């Protein structure tokens, strides 16, 4: 994986960040950053009596050898409760973006990261958020509906995935995590905020604005703000709402801000300057995702043959988990209806599907009850599931950047995947543009006879 440094220098372990984050202003010093690798975690005012009965975990059972060129999570002095969750998740070494961002973010520095999905960026910002909250428990009076950390993402599916990942990382802590998304009952989500102190809120911009305007949530105590997939929020027209949300949080000098985007155009650069201070910037090159982990196959096929070819492709033994991308919602629905008519067991995720149905479909896909999922770009970009073996592009995306997002659903975190492009008559006009963006030619060929 290629790492491109944009600006900034290596974090000096002898100096703490000058940023006046709420975490650094707490009464407890950041001593857990200097703690030895022991099994006891630092004391927390939030600890309940039941925690005293929990068996103490021995970090010595998490033995990871030092390897030149790799960063262990052990090397970063991460809170013991997070280390236990990292161990249970099977993570030994940091991905490149984690290795380069965590030394800065764990000290309270703002970070701007250009990274595709599948690079480990979600774990990077979740470890940062949780480590800060665990190492700096609040000793002052707290109030309901006042989260300490806020994560904003563009789609319901992505918010739910981040929430799920956060709960896995926080399973040995008592951090409270709540998600706020549209398509679900407002009152139910309000009750979650009122049930007890909330540490982390993960939300879509629209639903969060609803809560802010109705004074059901207060953001003036946010210590850490995470903006994930900022470019997608820009594309979807959410930036005015995001600006309103950011203004409701403490000033950038009094909070830590982490911003991640798959692309960096001038608009994103301008926004990042407005929302961060002395940010450390890092870029994970997009082409590493498309070439190193994913085998790309491009078949020239008549538009009328695409449905039958997909039906045959998805029945092959090596296709275990597959996502089919279309450019439009009506194309997804038509393809779904035709595949169902051919006896294929498929699911569909588009913006027109009710949230409860989408949640159920995604759950069935994760559990393997549904092998094939049809999705549009907006919804599909929020799908972060390990083990997806194949991605099929029913048509080439109209925006070349979306090609990387699509095939990034497979070949995640070092695994291998296959992306199959079905190049029909209308797609031929987009091939040259895509090749120019990727920097290499697609290997166009005729499909084998058994697929026709």
Statement to judge: residues 294 and 203 lie in one domain: no
Same domain? 275 vs 313: no
Residues 341 and 195 in one domain: no
Rounded Cα distance between 95 and 149, Å, is 24
Three-class SS state of 111: strand
pLDDT in tens, the chain (452 residues): 444 444 343 333 333 333 334 444 433 333 464 333 333 233 333 333 334 445 588 898 899 999 999 999 999 999 999 999 999 998 999 988 999 999 999 999 999 998 776 678 999 999 999 999 999 998 888 999 999 999 999 988 889 989 999 999 999 999 999 999 998 899 999 999 999 999 999 999 999 999 999 999 999 999 999 999 998 898 888 999 999 999 999 999 999 999 998 778 888 889 999 999 999 999 876 444 455 788 999 999 999 999 999 999 999 999 999 999 999 999 999 999 999 999 999 999 987 888 788 889 988 998 889 999 999 987 776 677 878 999 999 999 988 888 988 888 888 766 789 999 999 998 988 999 999 988 889 999 999 989 98
pLDDT score, position 68: 92
- What is the spatial distance between Cα 301 and Cα 318, in angstroms, rounded to a whole number? 22
Pair of tokens at residue 159:
């918010």
Answer with the one of 270, 285, 300 that is the final residue of a domain. 285
Residues 145 and 156 in one domain: yes
Task: List, for residues 274-315, the tens digit of each pLDDT value.
Answer: 999 999 999 876 444 455 788 999 999 999 999 999 999 999
The domain spanning residue 18 has which CATH number? 3.40.50.300
Strand 200-203 to 149-152 pairing: parallel
* Cβ(109)–Cβ(278) below 8 Å: yes
Q: Are residues 165 and 154 in the same domain?
A: yes
**Domain stops at, among 285, 310, 336:** 285
Using one digit for the tens of pLDDT, what is the confidence trace for 372-425?
Answer: 999 998 777 667 787 899 999 999 998 888 898 888 888 876 678 999 999 999
How many structural domains compose the chain? 2
> Both 211 and 305 in a single domain?
no
Kindly state whether residues 155 and 48 are assigned to the same domain: yes
Please name which of 234, 227, 216, 283 lies closest in space to residue 255, comparing C-alpha atoms: 227
What's phi and psi for 390, nearest 5 deg? -135, 145
Among 390, 370, 405, CA closest to 323: 390
Report yes or no: 332 and 348 within 8 Å, Cβ to Cβ.
yes
Question: Does residue 161 come out as left (phi exceeding 0), alpha (psi in the -120 to 50 range) or beta?
Answer: alpha
SS3 at position 170? coil
Task: Supply 161's token pair.
Answer: 């995935």
The Cβ of residue 262 has, within 10 Å, a number of other Cβ atoms equal to 25
Distance CA 147, CA 178 (A): 9
- State the residue range of the domain holding 79: 3-285
**φ and ψ of 283, to 5 deg:** -130, 130
| 317 and 389, same domain (yes or no) | yes
Please, are residues 131 and 79 in contact by the beta-carbon 8 Å criterion?
yes
**292 and 275 share one domain:** no
Same domain, 184 and 302: no
| Same domain? 237 vs 293 | no
- And the tokens for 420? 């199959």
The DSSP H or E segment spanning 335 is helix 329-341
Note the pLDDT of residue 382: 66
**Nearest-CA neighbor of 177 among 197, 204, 205, 207?**
197
Confidence at residue 186, expressed as pLDDT on a 0 to 100 scale = 95
Domain end, chosen from 256, 285, 314, is at 285
């Amino acid at each position: 994986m290629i790492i491109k440094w944009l600006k900034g220098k290596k974090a000096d372990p002898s100096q703490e960040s000058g940023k006046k984050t709420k975490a650094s202003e707490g009464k407890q010093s950041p001593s857990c950053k200097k703690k030895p690798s022991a099994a006891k975690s630092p004391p927390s005012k939030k600890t309940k009596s039941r925690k005293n009965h929990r068996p103490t975990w021995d970090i010595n059972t998490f033995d990871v050898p030092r390897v030149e060129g790799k960063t262990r999570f052990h090397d970063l002095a991460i809170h013991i409760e997070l280390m236990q969750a990292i161990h249970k998740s099977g993570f030994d070494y940091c991905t490149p973006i984690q290795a380069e961002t965590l030394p800065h973010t764990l000290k309270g520095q703002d970070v701007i990261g250009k990274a595709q999905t599948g690079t480990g960026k979600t774990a990077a910002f979740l470890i940062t958020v949780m480590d800060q909250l665990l190492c700096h428990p609040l000793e002052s009076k707290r109030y309901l509906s006042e989260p300490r950390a806020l994560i904003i993402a563009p789609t319901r599916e992505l918010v739910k995935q981040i929430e799920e990942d956060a709960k896995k990382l926080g399973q040995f802590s008592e951090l409270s995590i709540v998600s706020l998304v549209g398509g679900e009952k407002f009152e139910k989500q309000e009750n979650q905020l009122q049930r007890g102190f909330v540490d982390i809120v993960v939300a879509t911009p629209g639903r969060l604005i609803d809560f802010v305007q109705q004074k059901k949530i207060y953001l003036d105590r946010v210590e850490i703000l995470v903006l994930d997939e900022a470019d997608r929020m820009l594309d979807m027209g959410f930036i005015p709402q995001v600006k309103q949300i950011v203004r409701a949080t403490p000033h950038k000098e009094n909070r830590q801000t982490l911003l991640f985007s798959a692309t960096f155009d001038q608009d994103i650069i301008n926004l990042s300057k407005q929302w961060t201070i002395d940010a450390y910037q890092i870029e994970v090159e997009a082409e590493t995702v498309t070439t190193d982990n994913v085998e790309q196959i491009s078949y020239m096929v008549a538009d009328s043959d695409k449905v039958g070819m997909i039906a045959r492709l998805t029945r092959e033994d090596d296709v275990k988990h597959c996502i089919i991308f279309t450019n439009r919602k009506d194309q997804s629905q038509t393809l779904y209806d035709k595949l169902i008519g051919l006896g294929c067991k498929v699911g569909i995720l588009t913006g027109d599907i009710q949230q409860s149905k989408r949640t159920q479909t995604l759950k069935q896909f994760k559990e393997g009850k549904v092998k094939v999922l049809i999705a549009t770009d907006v919804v599909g970009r929020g799908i972060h599931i390990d083990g997806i073996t194949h991605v099929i592009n029913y048509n080439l995306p109209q925006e070349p950047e979306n090609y990387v997002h699509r095939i990034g659903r497979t070949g995640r975190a070092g695994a291998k995947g296959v992306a199959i492009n079905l190049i029909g008559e209308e797609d031929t006009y987009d091939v040259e543009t895509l090749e120019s963006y990727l920097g290499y030619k697609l290997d166009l060929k005729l499909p084998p006879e058994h697929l026709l």
